[in-house]
Structure 1
């Protein structure tokens, strides 16, 4: 009987102590998941260098001065030029919030040319224009939307122009560097850290070029050309300004 009594008392004591022991246990600590930093947004600030190329088309307007070659001679004419080009670009961008502005210079080796044949007094006269190279120094102003940049540009342009006149009696050729102006627009996309690809349209006006004929009979004869070109180019550039900046 005593053993039964002692067993019952022991169970009662253990039952009383069990809740208190559970209450004395420390609560399981809560560990917050580590914060993951967002991917850095591209920054356009810094130097860049790249390669680019494309196609061009335009117009060469020729005006003849002084004595005509014969009856029915047309003193003015207009003919098309077209072809391709390839070259390089270097520049620097500054970015403030979403506004990007910068300076850029480029140069291209080109073969953009055209020819016009006219008949004068029964003889075939041939006029020829070739843009052998061109470049520009221009400013850019753009709007950055994440990795994309939309921009307009404008500035000074220079062209290496060749004009030639041929007929059965003589020929005259003139190579001339002409300064003019350019305006354009385009879009660029940062497809990888430090790397971007772009497409761009430009209009270039190289002003007037003069060709003095070496005709021994009429030494004062000359022609003037006004040359304008449209270009569309694609390019790829490497940026030295860093992969990007984090924004929270």
Structure 2
């Protein structure tokens, strides 16, 4: 996950060098979004996360909660006010959930089996496309995401675990947001993001051929320093 963030930093630096070397680009009038930035963010996420044990049972974990972390990136603004950039983030979360297991063929959840889940960390690297309106910039973004996801099943609520699993899931994200330059160096942003972290099939002693997936929606706010 850290490698995703480091890759974002390296790519942002390469974009910055290339932009600086382009002496033929005319500097746009008004506030210019070109430059690197680093910031802090916090938000709230809700999810659709399912565990299926083939021919046995299912658990809709669906964790939700708050998260926070840091982000870095680089923007380049063109004369026509189009802004292209790269953005990477790393977050630590309190996104967790509790759910009852349901046996296939039964309508009611099993009160004796309780599942717990937690999204420990997430990371993403994204391309961004924005349009500069002086100090205001709406944008769309999309890229690759990764999460460290922990999920388990407690039998009879006694701490006697039927299984305890932790998986690294990787998928894609898309989002829409807006940034505002409060000063020449202080940027604030608000964003909605949808992430599909994908699914993973694995062989499990308790459930045999099993599948886990994770999809999240989130809203987040950020504040950054522009170099």
Q: TM (normalized to structure 1)?
A: 0.71
Distance 1:134 1:79 in 2: 17
Quote the offset at 1:132 in angstroms: 0.8
* Max Rg structure: 1
1:89 to 62, 68, 71: 71
Which residue number corresponds to residue 99 of structure 1? 82
User: In the alignment, is the contact (CA less than 8 A) between 1:100 and 1:141 conserved in 2?
Assistant: yes
Distance 1:167 1:214 in 2: 15
The question of 1:43 aligning with 2:32 is answered yes
Quote the offset at 1:208 in angstroms: 1.1
- What does 1:39-118 align with in structure 2 at a 5 Å threshold? 41-66=30-55, 68=56, 75-97=57-79, 98-118=81-101
Structure 1 pair 106/213, CA: closer, same or farther in 2 (3 Å)? same
2:120 to 129, 132, 157: 132
User: In the alignment, is the contact (CA less than 8 A) between 1:123 and 1:167 conserved in 2?
Assistant: no
Which residue number corresponds to residue 190 of structure 2? 199
Matched length: 190
User: In the alignment, is the contact (CA less than 8 A) between 1:64 and 1:222 conserved in 2?
Assistant: yes
Distance 1:102 1:152 in 2: 11
Give a deviation string over 1:131-167, Cα, whole Å, max 9, x none.
Answer: 1110100000000101000000000000010111221
The question of 1:221 aligning with 2:212 is answered no
- Long gaps (5+) in structure 1: 1-39, 69-74, 241-248
Which has more strand, going by share of residues?
A: 2
Quote the offset at 1:171 in angstroms: 2.6
Query: Once superposed, which parts of structure 1, at least 4 consecutive aligned residues long, lie more than 6 Å away?
Result: 119-123
